[in-house]
Amino acid sequence: MADRDAIHRLVTQAYDARGKGHINSLMDAFAPHASFELVGDKEALHLTGAFEGHANVRQALEEFIKAFEFIDRKITSFLVDGDRAAVHSTITVRFIPGDLTVTTKVVDLFRFENGKIAELVEFGDTALLKQITSAQLGRQ
């Protein structure tokens, strides 16, 4: 999948599905053997880690959808090189359990195979995620 327009469409559709909380549409973008990783120290933040295979990626993304509502995404840059893409975005999300809204930056690195996302590695402000998820735990 080296067609820049096709890659852009697929990623945009996946972001749209994630923003609307539509897990089935989101998972349609992923290959059966896909992987997803939120980069960070697993001991510092339980949300981080890698997930392999469609079912595990789905379960992880379902948990993110339950916990975080995407309010807005502004793409700063969208780079495509062969079967890879890098997307830098500013996102506004609401941590649903704590009703806390934050704006932060993320970078998503994609690899594609046969018109689907084979790999997604996401880099975000895990310290901020820890702060807002810990704030909820402190309220209980």
Q: What is the pLDDT of residue 138?
A: 46
Q: Is the pLDDT of residue 127 over 90?
A: no
The CATH number of the domain holding residue 82 is 3.10.450.50
Q: For residue range 61-115, what is the model confidence (pLDDT) as tens digits?
A: 999 999 999 999 999 999 999 999 999 999 999 999 999 999 999 999 999 999 9
The pLDDT-based confidence of 133 (bands split at 50, 70, 90) is confident
pTM of the predicted model, to two decimals? 0.90
Q: How far apart are the first and last CA of the chain?
A: 47
Q: Could you tell me if 110 and 11 are in contact, meaning their C-beta atoms sit under 8 angstroms apart? A: yes
Q: What is the mean pLDDT of residues 51-63?
A: 95
Q: How many domains does the chain have?
A: 1
| The pLDDT value given to residue 130 | 83
Domain containing residue 39: 4-139
State the Cα–Cα distance between residues 137 and 23, nearest whole angstrom. 26
DSSP state at residue 48 = -
Which residues, other chains included, contact 92 with Cβ-Cβ below 8 Å and sequence gap of 6+?
Answer: 70, 71, 72, 73, 101, 102, 103
Strand ordering across the sheet containing 84-95: 49-52, 30-38, 116-123, 100-113, 84-95, 68-81
Structure confidence at residue 140 (pLDDT): 42
